Structure 1
Amino acid sequence: MTQDGRLIRGERTRAAVLDQALLLATVSGLDGLSLSQVADALGVSKSGLFAHWRSKEALQLAVIGHAREQWTARVVRPALESPPGVRRLWALHDHRLGFYESRVLPGGCFFANAHFEFNARPGVLRDRLATEQHDWMAFLIRVATEAVTVGDLRPGTDPGELAYVTESLGVCAVMQAPLLGDALTFGHARRALLDHLRPLTTTSFSELPT
């Protein structure tokens, strides 16, 4: 029981550290993240964090994984409750923008910020971020392909292009929101995807938001 209790406390500590590190990374950048910075923010000793991560890079990689888990919980899983097809694609876009609007992360989007930060910096972190981006785009393409397969979108619709448009609108919105305001940018991002989808939908499908 004592050992189990220690494991539980250890996992709680690890989760709390990663929550804080993720918040900090969206403001200071993933490269600016350090064990000392996280320890100071949590009011714990730096030495205590070494039980979980032996280096800055190990912490950074763990934060990327934690960000993916958060994204899955806040964006992907809620969207998957919508039926396969164009409604699911729309739900992904809508939940994504809602996640940004919630300000859970003070710096906007962890992944968008990190990609800009590391795109031109070869190494382990860039490779991991590239994998995450590849997985996300592959998922968007699968959802768009499903929408064609089930008959929601017209035959000949390019799922890759639709995934690109959806991703571009999300990234542009979260980057412009701090300067232009949430109502304007997220409103534009929602209307722009709806305007793009409506001409592609079949005549039998009319369940997009108005």
Structure 2
Amino acid sequence: MGPRKSVAETAATRDRVIERALALAAAEGLEGLTIGRLATDLGMSKAGVIGRFGSKAALQLAVLDAAIERFRLRVPARAVGARPGAERLARAFDEWIDSMAEAEGYAGCFLTSVASEFDGRPGPVRDAVLQALAAWSAYVASELDTAVANRELPQRTDVEQLVFELNGVALAASQSIQLHRDPLAPTRARRAIARLLIAP
């Protein structure tokens, strides 16, 4: 029982560090995350914090992985029950916008913030962000392909262009919600997405 308890406690502590780091990074940026601040907030030693990851870069990647998983569970996973195509995609974007607008829902906004923070910084964090965004765009493109096949959108639809425009709406919503604190941003974003997903 002793070793098992030790492994469980280690995993629980690691999860607690990641959770606090995610909250701090959402407010101050992933690069601004410091081992000292985490240690103080969690009542741990710096060695105790970094020892669970090995380096600050590894901690950043663990935090990013947690944010990506939270996004996956909040956005595409909640849209699974909707009809494939335009309806499912509208539901997914709706969930994303909801997560941005909620007081504690920083996952979606966190990913777009990290993308901006690391867009000009080559390295493993940027690579992980690119991979996550590519997976999301592939998901959007797949649902758009289904919408075209189901005749919800015209056969001539430029799917890559529409992926670009839909993601652009989400980015604009994120900025309007976080930076401008615009209470109408979620409504405006939903209107824009609905317009893009309705066949002319």
In the superposition, the TM-score normalised over structure 1's length comes to: 0.87
Which amino acid in the other structure matches residue 156 of structure 2?
G
CA deviation digits over 1:2-52, x for unaligned, max 9?
A: 222222222221112111111111221111112222222222222212331
Cα offset, 1:156, TM superposition:
1.7
- Other-structure match for 2:137: 137
Count, aligned residues: 200
Q: Is the 8 A contact 2:68 2:107 kept in 1?
A: no
Describe the superposition over 1:98-137 as per-residue Cα deviations: whole angstroms up to 9, x where unpaired.
Answer: 1111122469711111111111112222222212221211
Name 1:71's counterpart in structure 2: 71
Q: C-alpha distance in 1, partners of 2:108/2:92?
A: 17
**2-side partners of 1:150 and 1:15: how far apart?**
43
Structure 1 window deviating more from structure 2 (88-97 vs 122-131): it is: 122-131
Q: Quick check: 1:37 aligned with 2:33? A: no
Write the distance in 2 (CA, Å) between the matches of 1:197 and 1:131. 25
| 1:155 corresponds to | 155
Matched to 2:164, the amino acid is Y
Preserved contact between residue 23 and residue 105 of structure 1 (Cα < 8 Å): no
Uncovered stretches (5+) of structure 1, i.e. residues with no partner: 201-210
Counterpart AA for 1:150: N
> Residues of 1 paired with 2:178 and 2:56: CA distance?
29
1:51 to 2:51 alignment:
yes
Aligned residue number for residue 62 of structure 1: 62
The letter for the 2-side match of 1:186 is: P
Hey, what does 1:146 align to over in structure 2? Answer: 146
Q: Which deviates the most, 114-123 or 37-46? A: 37-46
Tell me if the contact between 1:61 and 1:125 (Cα under 8 Å) persists in the aligned partners.
yes
Tell me how far apart the structure 2 counterparts of residues 162 and 135 of structure 1 sit (CA, whole Å).
16
What corresponds to 1:100 in structure 2? 100
Q: CA separation in 1, counterparts of 2:189 and 2:167?
A: 10
Q: Which residue of 2 aligns with 1:208?
A: none
Name the CA distance, whole Å, in 2 between partners of 1:188 and 1:82. Answer: 22
8 Å CA contact 1:173, 1:185 repeated in 2: yes
Q: Is the 8 A contact 1:108 1:175 kept in 2?
A: no
Post-superposition offset of 1:72? 0.8
Quote the residue 1:28 is aligned against.
Answer: 28
d(CA) in 1 for partners of 2:108, 2:129: 17
Match of 1:13 in 2: 13
Corresponding residue of 2:113? 113
**TM-score normalised by L of structure 2:** 0.91
Q: 1:180 to 1:157 in 2, by over 3 A?
A: same
Cα distance change of structure 1 residues 67 and 108 upon mapping to structure 2, 3 Å threshold: closer
> Hey, what's the Cα distance between the residues in 1 that align with 2:10 and 2:126?
29
Secondary structure of the 1:33 match is: coil
Aligned residues of 1:30 and 1:60 also touching (Cα < 8 A): yes
Identical aligned pairs, as a percentage?
Answer: 31
The SS at the match of 2:183 is: helix
